[in-house]
């Protein structure tokens, strides 16, 4: 128990842990519907990448008089005829579009005779359960694209490979130029134990603050907030009804973590998955959240046991009952602001989470590619296909289909037209420089639940001692980790 009031011992905690992992892994299945036309993501409007895309898997595309070295000690001829099972989710419902179109082009153009067989795993009610049932039955793909929430657990179970040897190979490796093209914090943190790279980041959604620019202008603010103090000041500003404009607090782990990063804190203190939540920086975050709530400028909408919490948050934002809310960039299609004083729809934008000194951060939900153990030739073929997928051209193409953001900055060179025609999506591009991933260690799936409980209790009960609560969170985290390892 965190405290006498804290409900860390929820009924059937184990069930929630499993459901939380499944939700993190496959939440995008329900979130990227192109129903409202915000994104022009159809096979007719997506700019098809020319055949030169496949040159992205080698820095030396031009012919060389020097024979190419053998990759990973294998002969190039070993790749001829390799057939790869590729599992993925998040596609659109158009035959020949989305991921299938990307796969088809690879099959037509690759020079090694590799054939990739795509399998959409997002067509069932519980995709994660379906995938893991297949694993238990001995059915494994060669390569998979999925959410990074499960990647550490699968690596530690011996299912997927460390990609470091592939990246370092002189014949097929990912060279410095390409590695530097990834958003640096995101790429740097995509490691286990500081050394192992179990996957490559392919696309991302980001956790943001949605901000009503029109309403803020009417309240007398000529620019969005640039520090945490600005954020609090604008939240406490009052309109004609003398009520604070307000910020809706959503105590989801991704929101809390984004603020912790912006305050230049980090709950992870070791590569082995040790956590420290009673640090000075995290106490500052919790203190500021509570003070804003007590001042009436921040409102808590509990996520448990309220399945409609997210809908309530967006409804309050759309009805001008909150100046700011926190949420995923994938939820931007739910922003439907009403008319302003000028009888026009309010203008809004996405902001990063802000620290006291103006530091910015957004937590990314990363979709990554990983390779399963299957034998040297099939693993090499899988790496070549994965390297194709993470090329800037293909990342740009997938962004147009899906509404996700790329993980490579050089992908933006191929997205200028799409950005112009999709301004809501484009408003998040400047925030990608501040993207950081959630901890990859498998323990984060259970620790994040305790973090959410602790912050919700801090906001809900002003009688709880904040510092004691965070110290108890450290203790509970240790107990949960010990329990999960039994």
pLDDT in tens, 269-319: 766 668 999 999 999 999 999 999 999 999 998 877 777 888 899 999 999
Q: What pLDDT score was predicted for residue 108?
A: 97
Query: What integer is the mean pLDDT of 201-226?
Result: 95
Q: Is the pLDDT of residue 205 over 60?
A: yes
Task: Please say if the pLDDT value at position 19 is more than 50.
Answer: no
The per-residue pLDDT for 68 is: 63
Q: Taking 80 as the threshold, does the pLDDT of residue 198 lie above it?
A: yes
Given a cut of 90, whether residue 480 has pLDDT beyond it is no
Residue 37 pLDDT: 39
pLDDT at 9 (0 to 100): 45
Per-residue pLDDT band for 12 (boundaries 50, 70, 90) equals very low
Q: Are strands 348-351 and 83-88 parallel, antiparallel or unpaired?
A: unpaired
pLDDT (mean) for 35-61:
42
Mean pLDDT of 2-10: 47
- Segment of 4-18, 93-107, 289-303, 357-371 carrying the highest mean pLDDT: 357-371
pLDDT at 18: 41
Q: Is residue 340's pLDDT more than 80?
A: no
| pLDDT higher than threshold 90 for residue 481 | no
Per mean pLDDT, which of 87-91, 330-334, 337-341, 414-418 is the most reliable?
A: 414-418
Of the listed ranges 202-211, 314-323, 340-349, 455-464, the one predicted with least confidence: 340-349
pLDDT for position 441:
82
What is the per-residue pLDDT for 266? 94
Compute the average pLDDT of residues 464-474: 96
Q: How confident is the model at residue 38 (pLDDT cuts 50, 70, 90)?
A: very low
pLDDT digits (tens, 9 = 90+) for 247-269: 999 999 999 999 999 999 999 87
- Beta strand 143-147 with 360-371 is antiparallel
Q: Is the pLDDT of residue 55 over 50?
A: no
Quickly name the fold that domain 206-363+441-484 has: D-Maltodextrin-Binding Protein; domain 2 (3.40.190)
Instruction: Tokens for 194, please give them.
Output: 């500081």
Q: Are strands 200-212 and 405-406 parallel, antiparallel or unpaired?
A: antiparallel
Q: Which long-range contacts (CB under 8 A, 24 or more apart) does 444-449 make?
A: 444/273, 445/17, 445/20, 445/21, 445/24, 445/149, 445/153, 446/17, 446/480, 446/481, 446/484, 447/267, 447/275, 447/477, 447/480, 447/481, 448/20, 448/253, 449/13, 449/16, 449/17, 449/20, 449/253
Average pLDDT over residues 23-37: 40
Considering the chain, what percentage of its residues have pLDDT values greater than 90? 61
Q: Which residue's structure tokens are 């496959």?
A: 26
In this prediction, residues 41-63 reach a mean pLDDT of 42
pLDDT at 386 over 80: yes
Cα–Cα dist 54/61, whole Å: 9
Of 43, 38, 151, which Cα lies nearest the Cα of 102? 43
pLDDT recorded at residue 34: 38
pTM value? 0.83
Q: Which of 410, 423, 396 is nearest to 46 (CA)?
A: 396
Distance CA 466, CA 278 (A): 9
16 falls in which pLDDT band (50, 70, 90)? very low
Residue whose C-alpha is closest to residue 89's, from 406, 369, 395, 421: 369
CB 424 within 8 A of CB 403: no
In this prediction, residue 13 carries a pLDDT of: 42
Q: What pLDDT, on a 0 to 100 scale, did the predictor assign at position 123? A: 66
pLDDT for 127: 66
Which residues have CB under 8 Å from 117's CB, separation 6+? Answer: 83, 84, 85, 86
Angle (nearest 5°) at CA 430 between 425 and 436: 100
Mean pLDDT in residue range 86-110 = 83
Q: How far apart are CA 270 and CA 76, in angstroms?
A: 41
Asked whether residue 409 carries a pLDDT value surpassing 80, the answer given is: yes
**What residue ranges of the chain are covered by domains with CATH 3.40.190.10?**
24-205+365-437, 206-363+441-484
| CATH superfamily ID and name for 24-205+365-437 | Periplasmic binding protein-like II (3.40.190.10)
- Burial profile 290-327: b = 16 or more Cβ within 10 angstroms, e = fewer: bebbeeebbbbbebeeeeebbebbbebbbebebbbbbb
When mean pLDDT is compared across 33-37, 85-89, 139-143, 468-472, the lowest value belongs to 33-37
Instruction: Give the pLDDT confidence of 149-189 residue by residue, as tens digits.
Output: 788 888 988 999 999 999 999 999 999 999 999 999 999 88
Task: Check whether 466 has a pLDDT greater than 80.
Answer: yes
């Amino acid at each position: 128990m965190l405290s006498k009031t804290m409900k860390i011992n929820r009924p059937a905690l184990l069930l929630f842990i499993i459901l939380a992992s499944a939700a993190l892994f496959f939440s995008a299945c329900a979130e990227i519907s192109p129903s409202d036309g915000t994104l022009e993501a159809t096979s007719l409007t997506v700019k098809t990448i020319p055949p030169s895309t496949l040159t992205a898997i080698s820095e030396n595309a031009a012919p060389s008089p020097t024979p190419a070295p053998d990759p990973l000690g294998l002969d190039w001829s070993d790749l001829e005829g390799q057939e790869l099972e590729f599992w993925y989710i998040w596609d659109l419902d158009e035959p020949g579009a989305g991921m299938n179109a990307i796969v088809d082009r690879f099959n037509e153009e690759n020079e090694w005779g590799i054939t990739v067989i795509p399998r959409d795993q997002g067509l069932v009610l519980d995709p994660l359960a379906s995938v893991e049932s297949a694993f238990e039955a001995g059915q494994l793909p060669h390569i998979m694209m999925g959410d990074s929430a499960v990647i550490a657990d699968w690596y530690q179970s011996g299912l997927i490979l460390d990609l470091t040897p592939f990246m370092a190979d002189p014949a097929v490796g990912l060279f410095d130029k390409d590695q530097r093209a990834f958003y640096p914090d995101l790429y740097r943190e995509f490691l286990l134990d500081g050394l192992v790279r179990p996957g490559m980041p392919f696309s991302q959604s980001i956790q943001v603050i949605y901000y009503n620019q029109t309403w803020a202008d009417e309240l007398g603010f000529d620019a969005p907030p640039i520090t945490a103090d600005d954020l609090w000041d604008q939240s406490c500003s009052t309109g004609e009804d003398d009520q604070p404009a307000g910020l809706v607090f959503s105590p989801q782990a991704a929101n809390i973590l984004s603020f912790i990063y912006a305050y230049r804190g980090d709950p992870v203190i070791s590569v082995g998955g040790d956590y420290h939540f009673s640090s000075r920086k995290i106490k500052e975050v919790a203190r500021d959240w509570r003070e804003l709530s007590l001042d009436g400028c921040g409102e808590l909408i509990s996520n448990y046991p309220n399945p409609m919490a997210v809908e309530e948050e967006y409804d309050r934002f759309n009805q001008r009952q909150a100046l700011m809310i926190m949420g995923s960039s994938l939820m931007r299609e739910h922003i439907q602001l009403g008319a302003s004083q000028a009888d026009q729809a309010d203008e809004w934008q996405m902001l990063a989470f802000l620290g006291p000194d103006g530091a910015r951060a957004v937590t990314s939900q990363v979709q990554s590619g990983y390779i399963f153990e299957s034998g040297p030739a099939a693993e090499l073929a899988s790496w070549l296909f994965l390297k194709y997928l993470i090329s800037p051209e293909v990342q740009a193409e997938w962004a147009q289909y899906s509404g996700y953001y790329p993980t490579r900055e050089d992908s933006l060179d191929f997205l200028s037209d799409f950005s112009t025609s999709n301004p809501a999506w484009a408003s998040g591009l400047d925030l990608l420089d501040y993207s950081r991933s959630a901890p990859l260690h498998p323990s984060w799936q259970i620790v994040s639940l305790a973090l959410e409980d602790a912050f919700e209790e801090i906001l809900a009960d002003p009688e709880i001692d904040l510092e004691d609560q965070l110290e108890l969170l450290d203790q509970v985290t240790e107990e949960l980790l010990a329990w999960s390892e039994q």
